[in-house]
Amino acid sequence: MSLLDAIPSGVLPPLPVAIPLAVCALILMLSKRLHGHMPDILATLTALVASALCMLIATRAAESGPLIYWFGGWTPRDGHAVGIGFQIDAASAWIAAFIGLLYAAAFVFAWGYFTNVHGHFQVLMLLFLAAMTGFCFTRDLFNLFVWFEVMSVAAFALTAYRLEGSALSGALNFTVTNSLAGFMMLGGIGLIYARAGTLDYEGLRLAVAANARDPVVAAAFCLIAVALMIKAAMVPFQFWLADAHAVAPSPVSVIFSGAMVSLGLFGLAKLTWVVFSGSDRILAALSDAMIGLGSLTAILGGVMALRQRHLKRMLAFSTISHAGIMILGIGVLSQAGAGGLLVYLVGHGLVKGALFMVAGILLATRASIDEIGLRGLGRGIEPAGIAMALGGLLLAGLPVGLLDQGTHLMQGALDERGHRVALIATVLGCGLTGAAVLRGAARIFLGWGSVAGDEARAPSEDEQEKADRPLWLMLAPCLFLLALDLAAPAGPVEDLVRNAVPNFLHMSEPQTALPHGIAWLPWLSVAMAFAIAGYDLSRGHLPKVLLKLGSGVQAGPFRLLDAAHSGLIGDYVTWIVVGLALLAGRLALA
């Protein structure tokens, strides 16, 4: 630590972005000379260093306020920002530190996966890491857009990595929808620049407060919010996610589900509070839209997760569901809500990352990802089964660990503001996604559930990943992530929410007493998960009447849902237009 302490705060902010970029260039330059595991080692170390630097920034920011850095020394003149700056508060730095750790785990998990590609996988991943860190740190709207695009381009290339039929179709859907998101964001940036004449968050904040009822500002917000909600896979923008996450290599899916999707929400939360909170009109519309769409997303993602047999696709839908729960933390417009969002983001990233690693272990050791095809084939890799069941329980809301602390804060905030429907949606989302994962774990590792329900009709595909990797090397990062989630101490996390979140939100009057969630709610969702998974697994033994009742309830609307996830890019873009129109309409009415 003494070496780290010697780094002055003045030069610290750009390092977590610059170091991965420099190592990218180095690996590319030496790609022909780096043999064996050298790219793996370099990439893992870089991610760890970036994460450690972010932790250092976080502790410094907690002591002496946000670290500000102006590139090229272009400090603001007369209160007018000319240059581009990073402003790093403790909460943003902790999120970036978590992302660095997740990358390190993903690199270890992918050890030896991509040996014959001259380190190109590591280059793309490090670029992805640098973009995410920059996205967290920046205080300039256009700079945010640039990181958003770098993140997207790296993600597109990583999705299409396998260059096979379905991977390419999934990547094309992902690329087109997220490129449209980028264009909308840029359009929004253009509009707000027309009013504010600056791109610096502080300048924008003043301009928004001065033009609170200006339709141009509202339109700018609408476009930027839709762009970030496409990234965050809110209904009705969620379609690309299941296609892309299901076909990406599993170490990449770890990052997609664990960090990329939730970063969209992180960006939205930051912009909402720092830039757009000066306009009552926008805040009112935003609160309604986020609570409504978030509740819908949480339930729909859960229902769809339960109807999948392709494990990665199932986990992708569960990510959609949990992203829906997270956005409620923005919509509730309180410090506890935003704090809950940030804690939930980290907890969910750890658990979902571990679950995608279990899927990767099955792909590598059992050469399949199909829940029904894998029934009973989990013998011999029981630790993976335990990890999967534990992950399922944590998703379902088992009241222990970081994810539960996030749920607790979020449910407390929702309860405090009287959003009953949203509160029920969080329980349903947790219960349904937990049930899907538990059902998969029991079917694969215990061989239960010989009669399949509706999930048998879901799309699936034979797929496998590079096999001759040691099991312990794949299990270690998976268990590490779960252990990290479980070991997070409750006291310090709550202190962090109390002290760091007001800085993150630029809030003048911090809340000292955080609301507490209802203690029995998590148990309700866990019980629900067990009940649904149990019902699905015991189809062979249940009386016919009960099964008929179950399928009768599921038949109509759920088939329509399946049909909506058509995999057709034209349909997805139509849904994006519908969503854009909905949000614009709500803003116009406000």
Partner 1 sequence: MTPIMSALPFCVAAWLFAIGLYGIVTSRNYIHLVGCLGVCQSATYVLLLAVGYRWDSVAPIFYDHPPGTPAVDPVVQALVLTDIVVGATLTALLLVMAIQVQKRRGTLDPEELAPMKEQQAADACKGRVAEPQR
Nearer to partner 1, 159 or 272 (CB): 159
- Token pair of 439, please? 């059902």
Packing angle of the helix pair 261-274, 215-231 (nearest 10 deg): 160
Among 489, 551, 561, 585, binds partner 1 (CB under 8 A): 551
Question: Are the CB atoms for 217 and 208 separated by under 8 Å?
Answer: yes
Query: Is residue 248 helix, strand or coil?
Result: coil
Among 29, 456, 531, 553, binds partner 1 (CB under 8 A): 456
Nearer to partner 1, 157 or 414 (CB): 157
Half-sphere CA count of 31, side-chain side, radius 13 A = 13
CA–chain centroid gap for 446, Å, is: 30
461 contributes a contact to partner 1 by CB under 8 A = yes
For the four alpha carbons of 409, 421, 347 and 47, in that order, the dihedral sign comes to: negative
* Closest CB 374 distance from partner 1, rounded Å: 9
CA–chain centroid gap for 215, Å, is: 31
DSSP 334: S
Residue (of 298, 291, 242, 290) closest to 458 by Cα position: 242
Half-sphere CA count of 509, side-chain side, radius 13 A = 1
Radius of gyration of the chain (CA): 23
* Closest CB 145 distance from partner 1, rounded Å: 8
Among 59, 561, 566, 578, binds partner 1 (CB under 8 A): 566
Nearer to partner 1, 40 or 454 (CB): 454
* Closest CB 118 distance from partner 1, rounded Å: 18
76 contributes a contact to partner 1 by CB under 8 A = no
Nearer to partner 1, 74 or 519 (CB): 74
Name residue, tokens 């917000």.
221
Among 189, 282, 432, 482, binds partner 1 (CB under 8 A): 189
424 contributes a contact to partner 1 by CB under 8 A = no
Among 222, 225, 275, 452, binds partner 1 (CB under 8 A): 452
- Spatial distance between the Cα atoms of 579 and 229, rounded to a whole number of angstroms: 10
Q: Is residue 462 exposed (0-12), middle (13-18) or buried (19+ Cβ within 10 Å)?
A: exposed
115 contributes a contact to partner 1 by CB under 8 A = no
Stretch that binds partner 1, among 51-59, 128-136, 155-163, 404-412 (CB under 8 A): 155-163
Nearer to partner 1, 84 or 333 (CB): 84
Query: What character string, x for contact with partner 1 (CB under 8 A) and - otherwise, covers 285-314?
Result: ------------------------xx--x-
Question: Are the CB atoms for 86 and 18 separated by under 8 Å?
Answer: no
- Spatial distance between the Cα atoms of 565 and 587, rounded to a whole number of angstroms: 28
Site residues for partner 1 per CB under 8 A:
142, 146, 149, 153, 156-157, 160, 163-166, 168-173, 175-176, 179-180, 182-183, 186-187, 189-191, 193-194, 199, 243, 246-247, 309-310, 313, 370, 372-373, 375, 450-454, 456-462, 539-540, 547, 551, 566-570, 573-574, 577
